[in-house]
Amino acid sequence: MAETELERAEKRYAQAKARLQGLKNREATRQRKLDTRRKVILGGALLDLAERDSSAAAMLDRLVRNLAREQDRKAFADWSVPSAPPAPDIDGTS
């Protein structure tokens, strides 16, 4: 039995719809990977800054202590905030 024009059009439509969904899925994956990369880079920059700046170290400590999700807090159970060297004494009294 020969395919009708309507059946061929429906088949092409289904194939195009599947291609479109595949493109959407690949773009969503690309965006998630980019988002994860940005978070890793910013996290590393924050850790680096915390090693050099005591106020950044305090902020990082506060962020970790205030994590809302239990599973997130567990990830930091055995971790300590990098300690920054003490700030120089500006007025010379110590």
Q: pLDDT digits over 63-87, tens only? A: 999 999 999 999 988 888 877 666 6
> What is the domain extent for residue 42?
5-74
Work out how many domains the chain is built from and give that number. Answer: 1
Global pTM exceeds 0.85: no
pLDDT given at position 80:
86
Distance between CA atoms of residues 14 and 30, nearest Å: 24
Question: How many C-beta neighbours within 10 Å does residue 48 have?
Answer: 12
Flag whether 89 is in a domain: no
Nearest to 81 by CA among 41, 51, 44: 51
pLDDT given at position 18:
98
| Tokens describing residue 81 | 């905030």
Flag whether 56 is in a domain: yes
pLDDT band at residue 31 using 50, 70 and 90 as cut-offs: very high
Q: Does an H or E element contain 20, and which? A: helix 5-52
Flag whether 85 is in a domain: no
Mean of all residue pLDDT scores within the chain: 90
Flag whether 79 is in a domain: no
Flag whether 94 is in a domain: no
Flag whether 93 is in a domain: no
Flag whether 92 is in a domain: no
